[in-house]
């Protein structure tokens, strides 16, 4: 099968483009249905004639249905989307790229989803599906799970299947509260995930933006101390990765801290820590919950991040996490390869 695919890439490379276009159209309809042809064409930056021809083909194959209010993906179409995603991975050589990135970053595993979130927002749904599918396979009874907040992690929880069989599993928020959106708070997502798993959960009623003195005082409370101890000794950690500049802005850090991050060339943020290009922590935000040292000793630390703009942040936060699992998209993966090549060329130049 693999040899046939490689041969097709050489002889009829337009097949990859066609597969990718139809996969993207189906996926976009699925996550925006009902949707009209004009809006679909605009969102994918395709001509209306192209979209009309492709939709006609997909309708003839019983993959989409067209109604007055817009288009829907059929049940058969949903199954095809999953099959196309796996086929595209082989067409594009993403399996080999997964291993290349895993080896360079010294991770346990890398999983890549076709597409680039920065260009197609529906990719985030596929990231969530892939992350939930992977975790449901590795989850074990009598485990403790720590989970952060954020929109990407919310997609993971939204897509997690209802198992209702892990009654001895405990789900915990990996960090205190941050931001104003309750739907993406770690406490909210921990409670929802535990419900789907069939386990229990504990909440952490502490803001993540408190001063160090106040946090130290709160940590002396027995109930808080107990939950934090459980979080820091979790078996699994599921968390997001962000760009240092964007995360600092979201946290509304002081101007002097922003300047410090720039001077120290911070490029990535995870778990309240800011990392430079070498993967070194250059600034620690006052936080309660999982620390970097805790993340490195859990059974599996699963990072979920999407978009080519996060490539540098992913490299910085994931370097040498031997227990780390990275789930990302094609856009980020390809940009990571570019950054790796630039780094290697820079190293060679230094040696000369």
Eight-state DSSP code of residue 177: B
Number of domains in the chain: 2
> Do 149 and 72 fall within a single domain?
no
Domain of 86?
Answer: 2-91
> Do 127 and 76 fall within a single domain?
no
> Do 13 and 118 fall within a single domain?
no
> Do 69 and 117 fall within a single domain?
no
Last residue of a domain, one of 91, 107, 141: 91
Last residue of a domain, one of 70, 91, 112: 91
Identify the pLDDT of residue 19: 85
> Do 303 and 169 fall within a single domain?
yes
Closest residue by Cα to residue 163 from 131, 135, 122, 202: 135
> Do 133 and 79 fall within a single domain?
no
> Do 199 and 224 fall within a single domain?
yes
> Do 107 and 215 fall within a single domain?
yes
Closest residue by Cα to residue 227 from 206, 256, 211, 199: 206
* pTM of the model as a whole: 0.88
> Do 244 and 315 fall within a single domain?
yes
Identify the pLDDT of residue 352: 39
Residues 6 or more apart in contact with residue 331 via CB below 8 angstroms: 115, 116, 117, 118, 119, 123, 306, 307, 308
Last residue of a domain, one of 91, 126, 147: 91
> Do 193 and 174 fall within a single domain?
yes
Cα-based distances in Å from 199 to 46, 163, 172:
46, 10, 11
- The Cα 292–Cα 144 span in angstroms is 17
One pLDDT digit (tens) per residue for the chain, 352 residues? 555 555 666 666 677 788 889 999 999 999 999 999 999 999 888 999 999 999 999 999 999 999 999 999 999 999 999 888 888 888 888 999 999 999 999 999 999 999 999 999 999 999 999 999 999 999 999 999 999 999 999 999 999 999 878 899 999 999 876 656 788 899 999 999 999 999 999 988 777 666 667 766 776 677 788 888 899 999 999 999 999 999 888 877 888 988 999 999 999 999 989 999 999 999 987 777 888 899 999 999 999 999 999 999 999 999 999 999 999 999 999 999 999 888 776 654 443 3
Q: What is the CATH number for 240?
A: 3.40.50.1360
> Do 244 and 287 fall within a single domain?
yes
Q: What is the CATH number for 13?
A: 1.10.10.10
> Do 124 and 196 fall within a single domain?
yes
């Amino acid at each position: 099968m693999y040899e046939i695919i490689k041969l097709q890439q050489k002889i009829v490379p337009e097949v990859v483009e066609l597969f990718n276009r139809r996969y993207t159209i189906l996926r976009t309809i699925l996550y925006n249905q009902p949707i009209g042809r004009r809006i679909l064409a605009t969102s994918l930056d395709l001509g209306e004639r192209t979209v009309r021809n492709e939709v006609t083909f997909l309708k003839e194959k019983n993959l989409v249905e067209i109604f007055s209010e817009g288009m829907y993906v059929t049940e058969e179409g949903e199954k095809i989307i999953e099959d196309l995603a796996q086929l595209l991975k082989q067409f594009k050589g993403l399996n080999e790229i997964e291993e290349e990135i895993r080896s360079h970053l010294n991770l346990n595993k890398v999983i890549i989803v076709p597409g680039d979130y920065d260009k197609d927002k529906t990719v985030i749904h596929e990231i969530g599906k892939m992350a939930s599918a992977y975790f449901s396979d590795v989850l074990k009874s009598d485990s403790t799970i720590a989970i952060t907040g954020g929109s990407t992690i919310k997609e993971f929880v939204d897509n997690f299947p209802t198992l209702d069989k892990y009654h001895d599993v405990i789900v915990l928020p990996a960090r205190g509260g941050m931001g104003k959106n309750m739907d993406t708070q770690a406490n909210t997502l921990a409670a929802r995930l535990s419900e789907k798993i069939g386990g229990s959960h504990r909440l952490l009623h502490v803001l993540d933006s408190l001063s160090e003195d106040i946090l130290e005082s709160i940590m002396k409370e027995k109930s808080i101390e107990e939950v934090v101890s459980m979080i820091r000794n979790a078996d699994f950690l599921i968390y997001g990765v962000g760009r240092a500049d964007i995360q600092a802005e979201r946290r509304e850090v002081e101007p002097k801290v922003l300047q410090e991050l720039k001077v120290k060339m911070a490029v990535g943020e995870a778990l309240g820590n800011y990392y430079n290009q070498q993967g070194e922590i250059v600034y620690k935000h006052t936080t309660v919950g999982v620390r970097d040292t805790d993340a490195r000793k859990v059974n599996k630390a699963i990072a979920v991040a999407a978009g080519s703009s996060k490539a540098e942040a992913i490299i910085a936060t994931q370097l040498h996490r031997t227990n780390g699992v990275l789930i990302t998209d094609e856009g980020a993966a390809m940009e990571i390869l570019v950054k790796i090549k630039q780094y290697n060329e820079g190293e060679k130049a230094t040696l000369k």
